[in-house]
Amino acid sequence: MGSITRSLANNITTSGVILPAGITNSSVSAVTSFANASGGTLILLSTQTASASATISFTTGLDSTYDAYEFHFINLHPSSTGGVKPTFQLSTNGGSSYAVTMTTTVFRALHSENDASANLAYDTGGDQAQGTSFQMFSTDIGDGNDENSSGILELFNPSSTTYVKHFIARSNGVNTGSFSLDTFVAGYANTTSAINAIQFKFSSGNIDDGIIKLYGVKKS
């Protein structure tokens, strides 16, 4: 038995599984891809890029494949109206309508560039109590060339037909007064119907620029 074969044999269990010590850079140097291999717990499902877009909708990808989904929004920038809020709504009919009843809660921390103002407060104008409006998930974004918002929206078990659907959003944005706005949003869609689509838009005007990525969270 050669040294390479002997080394490999010493790192295989009785059930035929190769131990971590049996896999090195040199042993896999000629491999260009692995079938059914995953690079982590987040599985990228789709990406959409705004370009003066009134809305961005995801009408596929939300199903029972994963128990949780994440939307990563990157540098969302409004077209021409400062002080607007990125918002979202959900759908139970594949995107034919977006008006699911929600109950939500919002608070935010802010700090100005000139260090003159700092605050942590509940946002009474951002929440809903059994409302069907689009829910804000970031606060008062400015329309300056460098002003935008980035963050993550998590949606849990949208395909359940037993439970309401919880969501959590965390973002940071820059508003027209040059404040850093750290916004926390949470709530639930008060429906036992499966959620199968979501739409994003600003509270006014178009999404001039920005990227939204949809990830599935791999089941353990």
Is the per-residue pLDDT at 10 higher than 80?
Answer: no
Is the per-residue pLDDT at 69 higher than 60?
Answer: yes
- Mean pLDDT along residues 28-46: 68
Q: How many beta carbons lie within 10 A of that of residue 158, not counting itself?
A: 24
pTM of the model: 0.82
Cα separation, 159 vs 145, in Å, equals: 39
Enumerate long-range contacts of 4-10, CB under 8 Å, 24 or more apart: none
- Token pair for 28: 């896999």
Q: What pLDDT does residue 175 have?
A: 86
Class of domain 41-217: mainly beta
Q: What pLDDT does residue 25 have?
A: 55
**Cβ contact 85:117 at 8 Å:** no
- Mean pLDDT along residues 100-127: 96
Q: Per residue in 149-182, pLDDT tens?
A: 999 999 999 999 999 999 999 999 998 888 999 9
Domain ranges of the chain: 1-37, 41-217
Q: Per residue in 120-159, pLDDT tens?
A: 999 999 999 999 999 999 988 988 999 999 999 999 999 9
**Cβ contact 35:24 at 8 Å:** no
Cα separation, 22 vs 7, in Å, equals: 7
Report the percent of the chain where pLDDT is more than 90.
75
